[in-house]
Homo-oligomer: A and B are copies of this chain.
Amino acid sequence: MRHYDLIVLGAGSGNMLLTEELGHFRTAIVEPDLFGGTCLNRGCIPSKMFVLAADAAEDARAAKRLGVHASIAPVDWKTVRDRVFSRIDPLHGSAVDYRRKNSIDVYTEEAYFIAPKVVQVGDERITADTFVVAVGSRPAVPHIPGLDSVPYHTSDTIMRIDELPTSMIVLGGGFIAAEFGHVFGAFGTDVTIVQRGPRLLMTEDKQVSARFTELASRRHRVLLGARATSVQPRGGSVAVTVRGRHGEQILEADLLLVCTGRRPNTDRLQALTGGLELDEHGHIATDNAYRTSVPGVWALEDAANHFQLKHMANAETRLVRHNILHPEDVRTLTNKVAPHAVFTSPQIASVGLTEQHARRHGIDYRVGVRAYADTAYGWALEDTTSFVKILGDPAERAILGAHIIGPQAATLIQPLIQAMTMGLTADQVGRDVLYIHPALTEVVEQALLAL
């Protein structure tokens, strides 16, 4: 049984953990799939490459409102796809080579605990003083009768298909559904979204969620309050029986995409056998320092929490690295500001409290909302649907939350993330700081002043 100082399970964020500072550790990294994990291979990065192509197509179509008339040739799916993966796929091999050159043992077989701090990987058993569990998550597939009888897709496989489907049914209305709806819609696929809840992007601020639902419904067929009750093959297509407000209907499409959530890979890891406590969703339970119930075992990212955000995983990675190196100075993640963005169309970005959360928890708040159209750049864009919404604390004047739907949302929100993190008040950021005229940032200034 080979013994290491450090075993890292999972080479997504786990691979980022291994900087020179840990160079003196005898280290192994275990990754049965691809280095780079979900983010690089099946998540953030390739999806954004498709989204940018989709944005380009939609922007070109929309340019006519500015007097620029563009016609778009049918999108050559294979070219777009191959451009994406010809850039991504070589990265796995070079990452493995790089680790091996730096005397880190790389295991590429499936791994699972057979006892606390003992892992079976292929034919070998390995153990270590310190473990970092970063095995990530995978799409959760719901139990729908007949689903296994059709070749359905998830976010793991949809980006690598061979032909652009003429039509597509998307089960789910969260951020993955919203992003792929945008991509395939922009590329010319007829998209139907089947969503159980009353709106799309239910976890966003209600006003953003409502606006997005309205805009998505102009582009796609969106069925709300609807549930898929069975699936069957029909010729080369897929038929989905959907029950909703208006009774039952049968939808048919070339392709079925299931985007109904994700689950941590802690089951495959046999985390319980490893002595690790799990929460009710299967995440490894950790404290704020990312310590698990087994001393010397740390867990982070999708395996340990709900964020499903690479920038949170990066922060966790830095923290765990510090804590491993400085057992005398263990730090905790105190930053409660967890921003996120949805790269759909229009773009959405959010940080902090939503209005519905504030209400539900009886938190006193004020709201400032500004339409892009109220500022020079938004007016020039002839934008009619985008806005910035900011929640503030009426007493302390702190910024409690910010929600943006519209072009550049993921960029526009950064000063608000910064203000919340650094404890700057809405007045300081709105009044003392200058905003370039006529940049789009003026809408943030105006929302702060409205507050």
Interface residue ranges, A against B (CB under 8 Å):
39, 44-45, 48-49, 52-53, 56-57, 59-60, 62-63, 66-73, 75-76, 79-80, 83, 87, 309-312, 314-315, 335, 337-341, 349, 376-377, 379-381, 408, 410-415, 417-419, 421-422, 424, 428-429, 432-441, 444
Contacts and interface: CB of A to CB of B under 8 A. Distances in A.
Contacts of A310: 437-438
B80 A66 contact: yes
A70 B64 CA distance: 13
A44 B377 CA distance: 10
Contact of A66 (B52, B339, B438): B52
Given A48-B377, A340-B436, 10 more contacts: A52-B381, A59-B63, A66-B83, A70-B72, A309-B437, A310-B438, A311-B436, A314-B437, A341-B436, A349-B436
A173 to B, nearest CB: 21
B335 A432 contact: yes
Given A411-B408, A433-B422, A67 B45 contact: no
Given A49-B380, A68-B60, A428 B422 contact: yes
A331 to B, nearest CB: 12
Contact of A56 (B68, B72, B83, B444): B68
A396 B437 CA distance: 30
A53 B76 contact: no
Nearest to A76: B67
Contacts of A429: 418, 422
A340 B439 CA distance: 9
14 contacts: A39-B437, A45-B379, A52-B66, A53-B67, A53-B68, A56-B59, A56-B68, A60-B70, A67-B75, A69-B72, A335-B434, A338-B434, A414-B436, A417-B434
B56 A66 contact: yes
A412 B415 contact: no
A17 to B, nearest CB: 16
A440 B311 CA distance: 13
Q: How many copies does the complex hold?
A: 2
Contact of A339 (B67, B377, B414, B436): B436
A381 B421 CA distance: 29
Contacts of A377: 48
A385 B448 CA distance: 34
Which of A63, A310, A381, A414 is most buried by chain B, counting CB atoms within 10 A of its CB? Answer: A414
A57 B63 CA distance: 8
Contacts of A418: 415, 418-419, 424, 429, 433
A39 B442 CA distance: 15
Given A79-B67, A434-B312, A440 B422 contact: no
A314 B434 CA distance: 9
A440 to B, nearest CB: 5
Contact of A411 (B79, B379, B411, B422): B411
Contacts of A437: 39, 44, 309-311, 314
Nearest to A420: B433
Nearest to A82: B67
Nearest to A347: B439
Nearest to A87: B379
A448 to B, nearest CB: 11
The CB with the most chain B CB atoms within 10 A, among A39, A63, A415, A437, is that of: A437
Contacts of A408: 408, 411
A334 to B, nearest CB: 10
Contacts of A71: 70-71, 73
A336 B339 CA distance: 30
A449 to B, nearest CB: 11
